[in-house]
């Protein structure tokens, strides 16, 4: 017998706008999941999407192209999700945000379509495990290909609830994606197939209970290290760069470069003590680009070394724009040419160690459409009209294949994670495998204004702290700088639009978590399962036709 809830659902399904209602509802629930007080909605966000697929499957004879119908309503849901959760991209670029919303949403419909195809041609042999496998396979691929935009991978939604996901030290964020999808499927089964609800309740509660156990029993490990982070608070559009990315013209309110550098040092010197091991300046602090082989001639570097003569324990990490000269144009895929010179331009992390060693790391996870153009060969036909210029760093930047870890003379390893790189879990574990004891994130979150963007970006850092059990020091050009402990707690934070330097002591852990050793193994397993299901469905489909 049908209960009253299922009768209401059936009545609703007879309405002409049933599928549109489900599409918008799914997108609304998913979009709101990326905000601090509504994260729990991620447990319900995919239920309407699954209901859409169920309805179209059961009524496929009503439509000439049921797959197209499924794609259209999935696309409406996922565009809604993208816009609600990442609307703030609009603040940095109108054209780029529209392109990001539309293109990323189109890509995110692929797991729904693959699930529907597998379900149909395997005669539903794999059940809703196929949906999980297809979605997590998409997330895994989205992490590694050139069009990567991983802000909305499902496990990231729990960045605002670190106490719920302490077990990320074993699973990484893929564990959160798996958890959320499994609960969605269980709730869907309760609502549409009259399954027992007790299992769904257990699926919610047990991981949270286990997480709280890990949270309250975890002990911070490692030697205490005193760090100073600097937040200079330059407006990205009107003060920091000579070029205004909003107007496309020059900045009459540009703050001269030497005054900007003076601010970094003035703020930091007020906080440095004899115990300070590191001062971190934000991303692109030294934005007057220099040739890397001439780094010793850079005035800011000389000032750092002068301070080291007063404070022998002190090292510096600073964001910088650098370039390397080559003999020929095809030295690297990203090499440029200007006035007969061939070179690569880098968004870099500059380390001036207290062992008098100077090292440079090149940011390697680049923002699509801002720092890298994966469709460069196609867009060459149209010039650079599709690229977004943020303060002059536009086009294809150079990268390096391996992560760099900077060590001071006390053998403390600092991971120089630059901005966007902090949203990649397995990528960050590469620093840990190379000996990083602390994560130092240098970023510039001012492009989005005082919106949810910089808050979401900060929250991602909590997940990296949990996954690796490494404390985090975060230096942002403006909002939000501060410190995060190994449990993902914020222990000291600045405000947005605040000029300051902060000093705190965090612990440098030397132990490796399971996730740091294994990486995204859940994603790899699910990719294998999805491929198996796809091949099995193809074979079954051919056998049925014969």
Kindly report the number of other CB atoms within 10 A of residue 15's CB atom.
10
Are the C-beta atoms of 506 and 224 separated by less than 8 Å? yes
Residue 97 — pLDDT band, cuts 50, 70, 90? confident
At 373 the pLDDT is: 78
List all residues 6 or more positions away from 283 whose beta carbon is below 8 Å from its beta carbon.
319, 347, 418, 419, 442, 443, 444, 476, 477
Residue 479 — pLDDT band, cuts 50, 70, 90? confident
At 393 the pLDDT is: 46
pTM score, whole prediction: 0.92
User: Is the pLDDT assigned to residue 192 strictly greater than 80?
Assistant: yes
Residue at token pair 């189109």: 106
At 385 the pLDDT is: 42
List all residues 6 or more positions away from 112 whose beta carbon is below 8 Å from its beta carbon.
49, 53, 70, 71, 74, 134
- Percent of the chain at pLDDT > 70 equals 92
Average of per-residue pLDDT across 523-531: 97
Tens of pLDDT, residues 234-250: 999 999 999 888 887 88
Kindly report the number of other CB atoms within 10 A of residue 249's CB atom.
9
User: Which two tokens mark 536?
Assistant: 């099995």
| Spatial distance between the Cα atoms of 190 and 359, rounded to a whole number of angstroms | 57
Residue 540 — pLDDT band, cuts 50, 70, 90? low
At 194 the pLDDT is: 72
Tens of pLDDT, residues 357-369: 899 999 999 988 7
Q: Is 328 helix (H, G, I), strand (E, B) or coil?
A: coil
Alpha helices in 239-379 (DSSP H): 257-269, 299-310, 376-379
Residue 48 — pLDDT band, cuts 50, 70, 90? very high
Instruction: Give the residue from 68, 21, 78 showing the smallest Cα distance to 46.
Output: 78
In three-state form (DSSP H/G/I as H, E/B as E, the rest C), the secondary structure along 191-257 is HHHCCCCHHHHHHHHHHHHHHHHHHHHCCCCCEEEEEEEEECCCCCCCCCCCECCCCCCECCCCCCH
| Spatial distance between the Cα atoms of 326 and 337, rounded to a whole number of angstroms | 10
Least confident of 24-28, 335-339, 519-523: 335-339
For 414, phi then psi, to 5°, come to -105, 130
Tens of pLDDT, residues 57-84: 998 888 889 999 999 999 999 999 999 9
Most distant CA pair in the chain: distance in Å?
82
Q: Which domains does the chain have, with CATH numbers?
A: 4-217+521-545 (no CATH), 223-321+348-362+402-510 (3.60.110.10)
């Amino acid at each position: 017998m049908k209960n009253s809830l299922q009768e209401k659902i059936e009545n609703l399904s007879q309405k002409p706008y049933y599928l549109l209602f489900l599409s918008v509802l799914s997108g609304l629930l998913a979009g709101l999941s990326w905000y601090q007080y509504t994260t729990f909605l991620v447990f319900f966000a995919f239920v309407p999407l699954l209901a859409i697929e169920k309805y179209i499957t059961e009524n496929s004879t009503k439509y000439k192209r049921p797959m197209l119908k499924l794609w259209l309503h999935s696309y409406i849901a996922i565009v809604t999700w993208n816009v609600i959760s990442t609307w703030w991209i609009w603040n940095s670029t109108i054209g780029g945000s529209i392109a990001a919303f539309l293109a990323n949403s189109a890509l995110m419909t692929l797991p729904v379509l693959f699930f529907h195809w597998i379900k149909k041609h395997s005669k539903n042999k794999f059940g809703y495990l196929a949906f999980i496998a297809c979605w997590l396979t998409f997330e895994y691929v989205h992490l590694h290909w050139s069009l990567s935009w991983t802000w909305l991978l499902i496990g990231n939604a729990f960045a605002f609830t670190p106490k719920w996901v302490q077990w990320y030290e074993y699973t990484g964020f893929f564990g959160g994606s798996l958890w959320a999808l499994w609960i969605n499927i269980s709730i869907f089964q309760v609502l549409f197939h009259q399954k027992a609800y007790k299992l769904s309740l257990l699926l919610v509660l047990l991981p949270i209970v286990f997480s709280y156990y890990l949270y309250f029993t975890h002990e911070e490990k490692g030697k205490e290290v005193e760090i100073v982070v600097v937040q200079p608070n330059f407006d990205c559009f009107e003060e920091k760069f000579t070029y205004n990315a909003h107007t496309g013209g020059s900045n009459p309110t540009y703050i001269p470069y030497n005054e900007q550098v003076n601010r970094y040092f003035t703020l930091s010197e007020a906080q440095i003590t004899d115990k300070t091991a590191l001062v971190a300046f934000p991303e692109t602090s030294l934005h007057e680009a220099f040739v890397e082989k001439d780094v010793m001639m850079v005035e800011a570097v000389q000032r750092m070394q002068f301070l080291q003569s007063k404070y022998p324990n002190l090292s510096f990490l600073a964001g910088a724009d650098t370039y390397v000269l080559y003999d020929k144009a095809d030295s690297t895929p990203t090499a440029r040419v200007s006035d007969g010179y061939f070179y690569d331009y880098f968004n870099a992390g500059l380390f001036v160690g207290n062992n008098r060693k100077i090292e440079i790391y090149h940011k390697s996870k680049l923002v699509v459409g801002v720092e890298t153009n994966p469709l460069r060969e196609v867009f060459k036909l149209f010039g650079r009209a599709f690229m977004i210029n943020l303060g002059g760093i536009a086009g294809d930047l150079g990268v390096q294949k391996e992560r760099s870890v900077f060590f001071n003379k006390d053998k403390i390893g600092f991971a120089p994670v630059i901005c966007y790189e902090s949203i990649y879990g397995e990528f960050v574990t590469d620093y840990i495998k190379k000996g990083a004891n602390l994560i130092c994130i240098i970023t510039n979150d001012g492009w989005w204004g005082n919106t949810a963007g910089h808050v979401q970006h900060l929250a991602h850092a909590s997940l990296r702290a949990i996954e690796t059990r490494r404390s985090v020091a975060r230096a942002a050009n403006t909002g939000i700088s501060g410190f995060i402990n190994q449990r993902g707690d914020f222990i000291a934070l600045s405000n947005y639009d605040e000029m300051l330097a902060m000093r705190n002591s965090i612990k440098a852990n030397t132990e490796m978590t399971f996730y740091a050793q294994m990486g995204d193994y859940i994603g790899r397993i699910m990719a294998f399962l999805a491929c198996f299901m796809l091949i099995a469905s193809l074979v079954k489909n051919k056998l049925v036709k014969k």
